[in-house]
């Protein structure tokens, strides 16, 4: 045991020093030798194990027993191994980066400037040596991912949240460029165990990372089932001129969505009439022209549960679990969309009635939910039964003004409300919402936007 612990410490110190100096070849070799000690012989011995119990009072136990020493050494060794797994994974990804390829990207064929042949790239892609090289690069990625997962597992066994979130942060940082490219599905197997480990260990103040991973995981789960929405705005089949609106619309034909594997079209034969300054009222239904494949339901529900759990944990009731409003905004947008895909109603109080006066988070969330419900009512998936009116949404955004700490989100909401008002020819609201949005174009507001720091709820 003593020699093993000494060897682990020696190789880990060398790996950490090499990482600090960014000498990745040395870090990779040192961490590889260190991880040879992770051969399954180390176990966590809990303090309440029968082998550690004694009948003597704790005050008289001034000399540690062999079992206690073994438990301490095992814990320390596994903690070191978890850290080294992260270094090992990072070193492998740095090797991939040195080869000109980030995690998940396709390797680019080399181009010889001396041989400028038109078919050079094609020939390279068919070259067996090139295929072998690509497989080697992918093996670097898989090794790194497995390293971070192993560090995650050791962190859970040790019940040390900082190890779990360190491994999760490594994975997030090295995959983020793929998320910016809207590549979510391929990382679902990677981040599902990560989210499970984070739930097991608890958020412990890492609410931003937890929410980000919840969001991308939910997006990845539903990505294959996302329907191709109509390119035209879907309006009610008949709209009468409203008293408060500045115009009206005649018979409007709904745009028809393109078909794909996850959706099917159906003929809409209905006509509804109503009068209001907004078409999003109970009396004027927007037709549903897109049906979701029933096979998508389990995964859509799984994604919705993930988002709802993240929204609940970050609802502002716990000061340690605050997240930026921009992050909560995109989670609420996805939540509304998921309920629309599943044809599940949102309660009339938008699930925020009881707590809206207790926390500014829920006041802003109610306004965001209302705006997203209204704007999503024209995407061909149908309208929510309890969808608020345009005037209600405007009122809620105005009343939540005291809780906005992100000017970008507020500007986005006013812009969206102005667009919806224009679509339904409610020119009074177009002018009102546009003026509220244009205030961000003043010199004071521009300065505020440029110098704005990311504030957390």
- Check pLDDT > 50 for residue 325: yes
* pLDDT at residue number 212: 96
Q: Pull the structure tokens for residue 47.
A: 């303090």
* pLDDT score at 266: 31
Three-state SS letters, the chain:
CHHHHHHHHHHHHHHHHHHHCCCHHHHHHHHHHHHHHCCCCCCCCCCCCHHHCCCCCHHHCCCCCHHHHHHHHHHHHHHHHHHHHHHHHHHHHHHHHHCCCCCCCCCCCCCCCCCCCCCHHHHHHCCHHHHHHHHHHHHHHHHHHHHHHHHHHHHHHHCCHHHHHHHHHHHHHHHHHHHHCCCCHHHHHHHHHHHHHHHHHCCCCCHHHHHHHHHHHHHHHHHHHCCCCCCCCCCCCCCCCCCCCCCCCCCCCCCCCCCECCEEECCCCCCCCCCCCCCCECCECCCECEEECHHHHHHHHHHHHHHHHHHHHCCCCCHHHCCEHHHHHHHHHHHHHHHHHCCCCCCCCCCCCCCCCCCHHHHHHHHHHHHHHHHHCCCCECCCCCCCCHHHHHHHHHHHHHHCCCHHHHHHHHHHHHHHHHHCCCHHHHHHHHHHHHHHHCHHHHHHHHHCCCCEC
Better pLDDT: 226 or 111:
226
Between CA 109 and CA 113 the distance in angstroms is: 13
User: Which is more confident, 352 or 375?
Assistant: 375
- So what's the pLDDT on residue 334? 95
Region of poorest pLDDT, from 21-25, 53-57, 300-304, 322-326: 53-57
The tokens for 384 are: 């929510």
Q: What is the pLDDT of residue 54?
A: 42
Residue 89 has pLDDT above 60, yes or no: yes
Between the two ends of the chain, the Cα-to-Cα distance in Å is 48
Helix axes 24-34, 66-98, angle to 10 degrees: 150
Euclidean distance between CA atoms 390 and 394, whole angstroms? 6
Give yes or no for residue 375 having a pLDDT over 70.
yes
Mean pLDDT value of segment 26-39: 94
Query: Quick check: 260 pLDDT over 60?
Result: no
Residue 184 banded pLDDT, cuts 50, 70, 90: very high
What band does 59 get if pLDDT is binned at 50, 70 and 90?
very low
Are residues 366 and 345 in contact, defined by beta-carbon separation less than 8 angstroms? Answer: no
Q: Say if residue 91's pLDDT is above 60.
A: yes
State residue 401's pLDDT score. 65
pLDDT digits (tens, 9 = 90+) for 147-156: 999 999 999 9
pLDDT over threshold 60, residue 445: no
241 pLDDT above the threshold of 70: no
**Dihedral sign computed on CA atoms, order 390, 396, 399, 401:** negative
Find the mean pLDDT for residues 2-28.
92
Nearest residue to 44 (alpha-carbon basis) of 69, 19, 24, 74: 74
Q: What is the pLDDT of residue 112?
A: 62
- If one compares 147 and 445, the residue with the highest pLDDT of the two is 147
Contacts of 132 (CB under 8 A, 6+ apart): none
pLDDT above 80: residue 240: no
Distance between CA 423 and CA 370 in Å, rounded?
A: 17
The reported pLDDT for the residue numbered 232 is: 55
All residues at 6 or more sequence positions from 254 whose CB lies less than 8 Å from its CB, including other chains: 230, 232, 234, 235, 237, 268, 286, 287, 289, 380
Contacts of 241 (CB under 8 A, 6+ apart): 247, 248, 275
Distance, in Å, from the CA atom of 446 to the CA atom of 148, rounded to the nearest integer, reads 42
Mean predicted confidence (pLDDT) in 324-352: 87
- pLDDT value, residue 87: 97
pLDDT of residue 376: 86
Query: What pLDDT, on the 0 to 100 scale, is given for residue 236?
Result: 47
pLDDT at 199: 93
What the block records as the tokens of 316 is: 């502002």
Which residue has 């294959």 as its token pair? 224
Q: Give the model's confidence band at 417: pLDDT under 50 very low, under 70 low, under 90 confident, else very high.
A: very high
Q: What is the mean pLDDT of the chain?
A: 78
Domains in the chain: boundaries: 2-53+65-107+127-201, 290-451
- pLDDT level of residue 36 (50, 70, 90 thresholds): very high
pLDDT band at 358 (very low <50, low <70, confident <90, very high): low
Give the pLDDT mean for 69-96: 90
Percent above pLDDT 70 for the chain: 70
How far, in whole angstroms, is CA 295 from its chain's centroid?
23
pLDDT tops 50 at residue 92: yes
Closest CA to 79 of 194, 170, 159: 159
Residue that wins the pLDDT comparison between 51 and 333? 333
pLDDT at 117: 54
Cα 433 from Cα 247, distance rounded (Å): 17
Structure pTM? Answer: 0.79
- For residue 267, name the pLDDT band (cuts at 50, 70, 90): very low
- Mean pLDDT, to the nearest integer, of 52-64? 45
Structure-model confidence comparison of residues 300 and 124, the more confident one = 300
Under the banding of pLDDT at 50, 70 and 90, the label for residue 49 is very low
Distance CA(342)–CA(297), nearest Å, equals 7
Q: Work out the pLDDT band at 3, boundaries 50, 70, 90.
A: confident
């Amino acid at each position: 045991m003593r020699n093993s612990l000494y060897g682990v410490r020696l190789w880990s110190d060398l790996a950490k020093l090499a990482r600090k100096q960014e000498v990745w070849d040395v870090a990779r070799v040192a961490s590889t030798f260190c991880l040879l000690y992770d051969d399954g012989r180390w176990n966590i011995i809990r303090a309440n194990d029968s082998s550690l119990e004694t009948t003597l009072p704790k005050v008289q136990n001034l000399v540690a027993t062999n079992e206690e020493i073994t438990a301490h050494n095992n814990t320390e060794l596994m903690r070191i191994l978890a850290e080294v797994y992260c270094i090992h994974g990072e070193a492998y990804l740095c090797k991939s980066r040195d080869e000109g390829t980030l995690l998940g990207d396709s390797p680019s064929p080399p181009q010889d400037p001396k041989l400028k042949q038109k078919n050079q790239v094609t020939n390279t892609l068919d070259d067996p040596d090139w295929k072998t090289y690509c497989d080697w690069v992918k093996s670097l990625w898989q090794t790194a991912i497995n390293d971070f997962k192993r560090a995650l597992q050791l962190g859970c066994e040790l019940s040390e949240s900082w190890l779990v979130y360190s491994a999760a942060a490594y994975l997030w940082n090295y995959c983020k460029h793929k998320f910016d490219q809207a590549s979510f599905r391929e990382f679902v197997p990677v981040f599902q165990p990560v989210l499970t480990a984070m739930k097991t260990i608890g958020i412990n103040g890492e609410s931003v990372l937890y929410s980000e991973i919840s969001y991308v995981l939910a997006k990845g789960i539903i990505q294959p089932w996302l329907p191709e929405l109509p390119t035209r705005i879907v309006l009610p089949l008949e709209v009468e001129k409203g008293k408060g609106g500045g115009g009206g619309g005649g018979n409007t034909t709904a745009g028809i969505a393109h078909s794909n594997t996850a959706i099917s079209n159906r003929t809409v034969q209905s006509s509804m009439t109503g009068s209001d300054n907004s078409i999003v009222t109970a009396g004027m239904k927007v037709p549903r022209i897109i049906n979701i494949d029933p096979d998508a339901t389990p995964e859509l529900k799984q994604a919705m549960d993930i988002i709802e759990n993240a929204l609940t944990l970050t609802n502002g009731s716990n000061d340690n679990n605050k997240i930026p409003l921009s992050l909560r905004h995109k989670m609420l947008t996805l939540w509304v969309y998921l309920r629309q895909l599943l044809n599940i109603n949102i309660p009339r109080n938008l699930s925020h009635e009881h707590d809206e006066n207790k926390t500014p988070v829920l006041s802003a969330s109610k306004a965001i939910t209302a705006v997203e419900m209204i704007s999503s009512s024209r995407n061909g998936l149908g309208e929510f039964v309890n969808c608020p009116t345009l005037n209600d949404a405007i009122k809620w955004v105005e009343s939540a003004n005291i809780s906005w700490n992100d000017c970008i989100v507020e500007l986005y909401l006013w812009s969206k409300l102005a667009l919806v008002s224009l679509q339904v020819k409610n020119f009074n609201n177009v002018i009102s919402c546009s003026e509220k949005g244009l205030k961000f174009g003043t010199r004071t507001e521009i300065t505020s936007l440029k110098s704005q720091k990311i504030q957390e709820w």
